Structure 1
Amino acid sequence: MAKRSPLAEKLDEVKDRIARACEKRKRDPAEVTLVAVTKTAAPEQIREILSLGIADLGESRVQQLTQRAGQLNEFVARRQIHGDAGTMPDKIRWHMIGHLQRNKVKSLLPFVHLIHSIDSLRLAEELDAQADKAGRKIPILLQVNGSEEPQKHGVAIGAAVHLAEQIDSMPGLQLTGLMTMAAHETDPVKIRQAFSRTREVFEELKWNKIGGASLRHISMGMSDDFEVAIEEGATMVRIGSTLFGGGVQDHEGLEEA
């Protein structure tokens, strides 16, 4: 039997941890999408994670996402043409998980599958306008400040439903859920509170029929807290350093343009 690579073993371990967290809440692990955050990953690691069947990749900077998307989309297409794609996905789903500036929206649109970080009306309006020009309806998540830290991006918990209603009326955007980040600390109570608050907002949106049938995702949880996030209802977890190493927590870079 061939020896498994360190990355393959780490991926198996993360999947096992996801499954155990789901089991605690009697959830199906298939409900949780693993987004591999490639910020600290070397190109060969990204190619390997694709060969291991992971289709969802996350980047926190527009320039890095567009560069990598161009290279790796071509890599996947080439492997398929040559008939050696194996368990590689047919198509990479690129997730923009970092803070997004309005002047970067246009360059991002051709590559992105889902934007996790819409946190203001002005940004949503710019994205809606660019989506209209591109003839697309862009799936987005509303980023809420679940930890209520003043330095964090994200709409305040109390303002989230109103902003979600405004976004839901924009023809170029498809509101598919919420994203949040817990406080970067060791207090498990505060971490869980950030996630439970976000889930409560999600349930309020559902109650008010905002987003309709498309509202189904809560993106929360990173390398150091994803199990708690899953227990609190996460349907997407964003994991980088646990998979790829590099000594950089997934929190870092998420606040950058």
Structure 2
Amino acid sequence: MINQPPIGQEAIIAANLTRVRARIAEAAQRAGRNPETITLVAVSKTKPLEVIKVAYNLGIRDFGENRVQEALEKQAAFSPSDLRWHMIGHLQTNKAQKVCGSFAYIHSVDSLHVALALQRAAEKKLHVDETEVQQTVLLQVNISGETTKEGMTIEDAPAIARQLLPLSHLKVQGLMTVAPLVDDPEQVRSVFRALRQLRDKLRQEVPEHSWEQLSMGMTDDYHIAIEEGATIVRVGRAIFGERVK
């Protein structure tokens, strides 16, 4: 029996999702893209499980979490076969064992150090219980250069991508970035464009990886990100309202 969400919550989330999906479609149309090629990840960090179930019942299949323990507890309680959990927060290497194989996507591989930790975690799972893990990851790039943000530099990304080639348990499928907080979303268009341009460069320089995914854009700027090529947008507040601290 699913606990019922607060009265009115389901209607609010449904209305919010309608607006978000419409805006995704409009942005895709402006860019001459098919909106069905864009994955909406509902950022559910700090949100109770009942609210996540509401969004799932409204058609959301991708949920983003940034706290490992919170995410694992939610997975243990609710993980239908068609639900995809995304780790979108900074990943500490000492959490690699818990994270590897538990998420459809890890968006926040921001260094060779983190990638190696995930590879070792997958190797350990194979050795201990013969669980074969092929973990899909995205490389997090700090396009804006802000010291408060995680991510490898644009300059380091090609070399790191090449160093990941021997890591047999990792599937690199693209890039991720977090844009600066600004008053006018147009101010971050150049950030999203730079990530797309880096992706295009990596397709030429390290073609052994799949570079199909660009995870960029959040509540305030996902429409701009889509216009610049985002294939995954991470939206929380526009769906669920202000998050709990």
TM over 0.5, shorter chain: yes
1:184 to 181, 184, 188: 181
RMSD (CA atoms): 1.7
Q: Distance in 1 between matches of 2:231 and 2:115?
A: 23
Q: Which position in structure 2 is the counterpart of 1:150? A: 147
- For 1:6, give the aligned amino acid: I
Q: Distance in 2 between matches of 1:247 and 1:185?
A: 19
Matches within 5 A, 1:88-99: 90-99=81-90
Q: 1:159-201 CA deviation, whole Å, 9 max, x = no partner?
A: 1111111113311110000000111112445411111111111
1:108 to 80, 85, 99: 99
Return the offset for 1:211: 4.0
- For 1:216, give the aligned amino acid: E
Q: Which position in structure 2 is the counterpart of 1:136? A: 133
Q: Distance in 2 between matches of 1:108 and 1:35?
A: 18
Q: Which position in structure 2 is the counterpart of 1:165? A: 162
Return the offset for 1:46: 0.5
Matches within 5 A, 1:35-46: 35-46=41-52
Is the contact between residue 146 and residue 157 of structure 1 (CA under 8 Å) also seen in structure 2?
A: yes
2:71 paired with 1:65? yes
2:222 paired with 1:231? no
TM-score (norm. length: structure 1): 0.85
2:115 paired with 1:124? yes
Is the contact between residue 147 and residue 182 of structure 1 (CA under 8 Å) also seen in structure 2?
A: yes
Q: Distance in 2 between matches of 1:193 and 1:233?
A: 12
SS in 2 for 1:5: helix
- For 2:110, give the aligned amino acid: D
Is the contact between residue 147 and residue 190 of structure 1 (CA under 8 Å) also seen in structure 2?
A: no
Calculate percent identity across the aligned residue pairs. Answer: 40
Return the offset for 1:233: 0.4
Structure 2 alignment gaps of length 5 or more: 1-7, 126-131
Q: 1:245 to 1:70 in 2, by over 3 A?
A: same
1:29 to 16, 30, 35: 35
SS in 1 for 2:90: coil
Q: 1:139-174 CA deviation, whole Å, 9 max, x = no partner?
A: 000000011112210001111111111113311110
SS in 1 for 2:175: strand
Q: 1:86-140 CA deviation, whole Å, 9 max, x = no partner?
A: xxxx421110000000001111224211100001111111111111222211100
SS in 2 for 1:136: coil
Return the offset for 1:209: 4.0
Matches within 5 A, 1:183-202: 183-202=180-199
TM-score (norm. length: structure 2): 0.89
